[in-house]
Structure 1
Amino acid sequence: MNEKLRKILSVLPWVAASTAYASDSTYQVDEDAFWQQVYDSRTTYYEKNIGQFPDDILKMGNMTGVWPGGGLFVLQADKIGKGLWAYTTFGMTNPDMPANTMMADYKIETDGQGRASNYSGTLQNKEQAKSAEDSAGYGYEMLLIAKENADWPLWFMQWSANAEILNDAGILDRVEKHQGLTVQDIQVGENESVNVLIAKAQHPLPTGFILPNGKMELLIATVITDDEMQWSLENGREELLAKLLEFGDGQVSDRNRESVLR
């Protein structure tokens, strides 16, 4: 594991461990060739259109036994653009999703330096969320594309995974119904927060793929300014996305950029 990932793991509130993705899974992939076929197909798509995977996947402690084989990746998005980084869920479209279990009474302990040191909880059954018949799992993977290799995007990625898997947020349905979804003040650090616009990936980004188990959309979370957030509520998410594509960095996140409304 590289030092950057070690630093990330020491500060994020939910991440339990990092482990080689090729061998990581509580789900016995050797006993389910179809599950592996889906996993491999998704991997090939990412590596062709986004970039090569690192050796490590980031696992969320509160998803142990809930999201088998799933986790978060940080990869250089050189197929999208020079100097870009992609932060992505990987496994929302697994054949065993949506989840039918959840972790109850989850507790996390930290050491003297604030690093996660111990986890505990109990698996319990939960009602499985409904998804479209032609969708793979939840029907999407979530990405945030940034110009930096940092830890703040992973706070957002954890938020999105928790919202969907544990709280049945139905993010894809909301995006399709409202032509996008805006979320305000998502914590991305001890004293930091961002607003985001979540929308389907737009060209020239890769826009999705048909996996062996159904359709996979790519949803992109883009950091937006306070005035863009308010403007979208009055004028629509689709209109804000159009402005970002025309006047800004498109669906690439930069927390320091100027508003496209100025």
Structure 2
Amino acid sequence: MKAPETDEDFIQWYEDCWADRDEVEYPKMFGAIDEGVFTLDQTDAIQAWMESDIAQVEGDPDPNWGPMGVRVAPPSTDYPYWTYVTSGLSNPFTITPGEEVPDDAPSGIGYEMVIHTKEEAKWPVFRLLDMMAYNLVCMRAFAMGHRYPVEGTLDGGDSKLSGFVFVRDPSRPDHFALPSGKVQLLTLVGVTKNEMAFARSNGMDKLLEKLVAAGSGYITHPDREEVKL
């Protein structure tokens, strides 16, 4: 695969890849997507990570990062819950005009992240934007099977959930393809500190079995009790 050589053609190709994901692939996997986008340049997430001790980016952040954000899919007949999905980590911002790229290469950093909730909420948007900024500024990527503790609770309130596990949602494909490369979908499921430790010791599949048996499954319920481990 070779990216378009001229700046004009490259910009159009870049925008077409973005539109293909948000306007074609996402509706197929999540149902109707709200028109609005919550973007990184509407927050201080990038700057906060730029000022952290683990930042790997010096100088000004990439201007391509600002428009990246989070899209929302409200409940539907097929998917009776809210879905929040990042939009931008799979943009081909890592490619330059005319660059030759292997056909099996990832697009951008190679994935987008998803959170499902029963109720509409703002905390998934803020969490995803912060984690996007972490990926971009600190150059630390996530992967299937990872665990990610957060500071405080997931919703900033009284929730007992204090982190995420990264899993494959069996109700939909875990990847799709763009003209710029392959993209994996990482579903984030909220868990307690003890549940995260259980997954580390016993495997992610064992934890998901318990979450499914308890009725929460791949949907994050901030007000739920810890499952019996």
| Counterpart in the other structure of 2:111 | 140
Q: CA deviation at 1:192?
A: 5.7
Q: RMSD of the TM alignment (CA)?
A: 3.0
1:260 is paired with a residue whose SS is: coil
For residues 73 and 151 of structure 2, what CA distance do their matches in structure 1 show?
A: 22
Unmatched tracts of structure 2, length 5 or more = 1-6, 47-61, 96-102
Are residues 1:53 and 2:50 paired? no
Among residues 145, 150, 164, which one is paired with 1:185 in the alignment? Answer: 150
Are residues 1:169 and 2:140 paired? yes
Among residues 16, 19, 24, which one is paired with 1:37 in the alignment? Answer: 16
For residues 74 and 50 of structure 1, what CA distance do their matches in structure 2 show?
A: 9
Report matched runs for 1:90-105 at 5 Å.
90-97=87-94
Q: Give the 3 Å change call, closer, same or farther, for CA 190–261 of structure 1 in structure 2.
A: closer
For residues 77 and 58 of structure 1, what CA distance do their matches in structure 2 show?
A: 18
Larger relative contact order (Cα-Cα within 8 Å, sequence gap ≥ 6): 2
Under a length normalisation based on structure 2, what TM-score does the superposition of the two structures give?
0.73
Are residues 1:81 and 2:79 paired? yes
Among residues 138, 159, 162, which one is paired with 2:130 in the alignment? Answer: 159
Q: Percent identity?
A: 25
Q: CA deviation at 1:96?
A: 1.0
Q: Are the aligned partners of 1:93 and 1:139 in contact in 2 as well (CA < 8 Å)?
A: yes
2:19 is paired with a residue whose SS is: helix
Which one has the bigger strand percentage?
1
Higher mean C-alpha deviation, range 229-238 or range 209-218: 229-238
Q: Give the 3 Å change call, closer, same or farther, for CA 190–210 of structure 1 in structure 2.
A: closer
Q: Are the aligned partners of 2:64 and 2:93 in contact in 1 as well (CA < 8 Å)?
A: no
Instruction: Render the CA deviation track for 1:57-81: whole Å, top value 9, x for unaligned.
Output: 1122355824154111222142652
Q: Are the aligned partners of 1:89 and 1:157 in contact in 2 as well (CA < 8 Å)?
A: yes
Q: CA deviation at 1:223?
A: 0.9
1:199 is paired with a residue whose SS is: strand
Q: Are the aligned partners of 2:190 and 2:221 in contact in 1 as well (CA < 8 Å)?
A: yes
| Counterpart in the other structure of 2:169 | 202
Q: Give the 3 Å change call, closer, same or farther, for CA 192–163 of structure 1 in structure 2.
A: farther
For residues 75 and 172 of structure 2, what CA distance do their matches in structure 1 show?
A: 11
1:219 is paired with a residue whose SS is: strand
Among residues 179, 204, 207, which one is paired with 1:212 in the alignment? Answer: 179
Under a length normalisation based on structure 1, what TM-score does the superposition of the two structures give?
0.65
Q: Give the 3 Å change call, closer, same or farther, for CA 181–195 of structure 1 in structure 2.
A: farther
